[in-house]
Structure formats: structure tokens, C-alpha cells
Amino acid sequence: MKHQICVVGSGYVGLVTGACLAEIGHRVVCVDSDKDKLAALKAGKVPIYEPGLDKLLHRHRRSGALSFAASVAEGMKPAKGPRAEAVFIAVGTPPRPDGSADLSFVEAVAEEVARSLEGYTVVVDKSTVPVETGDWVQRTIDRFNKADVPFDVASNPEFLSEGTAVQDFLKPDRIVLGVPSHRAEALLRSIYAPIKAEVLVTDVKSAELIKHASNSFLATKISFINAVSILCEKTGADVSLVAKGMGLDRRIGPQFLRPGIGFGGFCFPKDLEAFHWIARKKGYDFALLKTVKDINEHQKDWVLRRVEEDLWNLGGKHAALLGLSFKPHTDDLRFAPSLEIIEKLRARRMRVSVHDPVAMPKAQEQLKGVRFAKDAYDAAKGADFLVLITEWPEYRDLDWARLKKLMRNPLILDGRNLYDPAQVRAAGFVYRGVGRP
């Protein structure tokens, strides 16, 4: 059945949600308060890099299934078509300095929704929020819902990963519906009916907790293997083999057991912090989460630790970085480890050149004092070491002989264990991987 849906917040999650809901047959209005972003979207431009998203946006803009609006009021009651049966909130929930989630954007949307209610509506929180946010959204809407229009507040956490977001949305492992009523459940089940996935129906608080607990657990796996990699470096064991041996155990599984330079992005760091914060607020110090974060902070110093072992003094020497985004196939630089690493190298008075196939325009807005290279080879010119930060496919098969000629000193730091150490060493380089002998 076709539904009329309003998605508020047209960022990485909101745009993918809007485009995919249109793809499965609904009529969607995506709302955003950022005037430039909205103008770009209305003009047919896609403000973020996400594989497959542009195709869906163009297709459904043309068909009329997807449109854009500047206000929640307009999104909930479009000029053409019926009023929205469901409003998905997909605005940012950035971290505050104390680690808690800033929920002021969610509150602002809840108030706007309340003022535009005209008939029964399900207000669905898709943003990642701490447990009990649903209660606050309910109270906020109650306060401004002067005509006592019936509504329900539901939680439908989003598990997509940037880089594979469209696929993740359309073929998810599970759909979690945290609902307060059968009516809300029936509507959300109907909206998601075209997607073949296990649907888990819960109360609202459990759904909120599922999201924080899932992201924190994945972050824990990464920090765990990063800690093991340090022990490997100290003993001469090979973390790739240790991770393989662990991952073959079906109770553990191979995913998220890849050591590296630490996790970043708009989800794991802030969600871990916010989960720890809400647990403390509720009277429980979930200390494991603090340790996961500490291990990650320590791991972000891996580049500096390793390069000092080989190059002694860093001042005046030249670092070349491959990759800036926090992972491949996205232009997202939020909390990307690359930014912190560059800051630390610059603080040691190093010259820094960088390359990224997609994230350079965004990086140019915020990174000063670095050289933006046209490709990996240009970045490596005159470098004292080359470090792989993001495992983009174009960095997989480098011409090692060509690089060797271009660099001042043949040192490779493989921050993602992408390369075959024997092959790199055979080309005349000193090779350092994460937790590899």
C-alpha cells in the first residue's frame, strides 16, 4: 500500500531514507532547514557522496514520488497529495562537550510537528538517540498539540553504513520497530512491507537501546582487535592470523575484527559517548565503554608512534597520506581519524600532502597548511613516508617501483593492513602494518 511520508532532515540518513521509501512505492517529502542544501536538492544536485543515491533521487524526483520542502508544515501537508501519515525524524544528534547527545534539533522538529498535526500521525524517530528520548518527544508534542490531535511516537533506529547505505536500507539485516500501539505498528509494518527482512517489534525504549547497544558493541569489537594488535606488535605475532583464527569461531564471526588506525565517523565515537553518558545519568557507570574509547584514542596515535620509530625527528620531514574520509566510499569527514593524525603531524612541524578520491572538496574547507595532491603518486613526491589511512579501491594496486622513485625515503605505513608485506618489501620499502611482524 502506498503511504504519504514526511522525512525531516535530508542528510546522510534522511536522504537515503526518503529516496528508498520512494523506491519501495511511497510518496515522500524530504524537509531540510539548510537553505543551500535544499536549493541544491531542488535543482537536482546531490549534496553528499553515497553510491547509488543519485540514481534513486533523480528517478523519484522525475516520477514525482519524491519532493523537497523547507518546512515541516509544508512537508506534512504538501501542496499536492494527502497529508503525511508518518513523519520520520532524521536530524543530527551531535555530541555535546560532556559526551551527551545534543537533542535540540529533535526537540525543534517535535514542536514543529505538533503545530502541524491535523489527523492521526505516527512520529518516528530515526535519528540515533538515547533511551527515553521518545518520552521527551511525546511530552514536547503534547505541549504544542493544542487541538489534541491523536498521534503516536515510535522509534525506528537506522542501521545503514555510509558507503553502502542504499543497499543497507533496502536489504537490511533487521527492521526494528519500537511502538507504543497496534495502530503505529500496523502503519510502520505496512510502510516497510515491500522490504524483505526480519521485523522486530519492541517497546520504544528497547528500540532506542538496541541502536546504542549495537553501535557500542561493534566499536568494542574494533577496539578489542586493536588492543590485540598492540600485543602482536610487542611479541612478533601476526594480528591478521589471530583475527582469522578468532573469526572462524561462529560465535565470534570475522566482521569488525580488522585492526586499523582507530574508528571515526559520525556514529561510533558519539554514540559510544552518548551511551556511556545516559548509563551514568541512570546511575550505572558502564565502564567498558570508556575503555573502548580509550583504546581507540590510543590507536589514533599509531601513525605517530610507528613513524617516530623509523624517522627519529619529524620536524621538516614530509608525510604523505592516502585517504581522508573515515572509511571508503563516502565523503564524510566527521570525526575522521585522518584529521587528528594530520593535526598531530603538523604539530610536529611536518610537511603534509594528502589525497582522497572523493573527500578533498570537503577537506579543503577545513584543512589548512596541507598540500592537496592530484593522486597517490603526486602525494608521495619527496615524502619521507607514505601512510594508508582509508582503504579506497584505487589505493589497492599501487605501482611500487614508481612510488619508490618518487619518495625521498621508502617507508610505507599500512594503517589498514591492505597490502601484502612481502610484495611491498620486495619493492625495496620498509613496511609497517598494524599488529603485523
Which residues of the chain form contacts with ligand NAD (CB under 6 A)?
8-14, 31-34, 37, 90-93, 105, 108-109, 127-128, 158, 160, 162, 266-267
| Shortest distance, position 75 Cβ to ligand NAD, whole Å | 9
Please say which residue, 162 or 331, places its beta carbon nearer to ligand NAD: 162
Please say which residue, 160 or 242, places its beta carbon nearer to ligand NAD: 160
| Cα distance between residue 342 and residue 368, in whole Å | 10
**267 catalytic residue (yes or no):** yes
| Cα distance between residue 307 and residue 329, in whole Å | 27
Question: For residue 340, what is its C-alpha cell?
Answer: 587528528
Please say which residue, 33 or 202, places its beta carbon nearer to ligand NAD: 33
| Cα distance between residue 112 and residue 109, in whole Å | 5
| Shortest distance, position 77 Cβ to ligand NAD, whole Å | 15
Please say which residue, 70 or 201, places its beta carbon nearer to ligand NAD: 70
Please say which residue, 335 or 400, places its beta carbon nearer to ligand NAD: 335
How long is the chain? 437
Please say which residue, 127 or 226, places its beta carbon nearer to ligand NAD: 127
Please say which residue, 70 or 252, places its beta carbon nearer to ligand NAD: 70
CB 436 within 8 A of CB 417: yes
| Cα distance between residue 196 and residue 34, in whole Å | 34
| Cα distance between residue 202 and residue 426, in whole Å | 56
| Shortest distance, position 8 Cβ to ligand NAD, whole Å | 5
| Cα distance between residue 129 and residue 215, in whole Å | 12
Catalytic residue among 20, 30, 232, 267: 267
Please say which residue, 210 or 387, places its beta carbon nearer to ligand NAD: 210
| Shortest distance, position 216 Cβ to ligand NAD, whole Å | 13
Question: For residue 415, what is its C-alpha cell?
Answer: 594503517
Residue 392 buriedness (CB in 10 A; 0-12 / 13-18 / 19+): buried
Please say which residue, 102 or 378, places its beta carbon nearer to ligand NAD: 102
| Shortest distance, position 287 Cβ to ligand NAD, whole Å | 23
| Shortest distance, position 109 Cβ to ligand NAD, whole Å | 5
| Shortest distance, position 11 Cβ to ligand NAD, whole Å | 2
| Shortest distance, position 13 Cβ to ligand NAD, whole Å | 4
| Shortest distance, position 99 Cβ to ligand NAD, whole Å | 14
Query: Which residue lies nearest ligand NAD, judged by its C-beta?
Result: 11
| Cα distance between residue 222 and residue 265, in whole Å | 14
- Active site members: 267
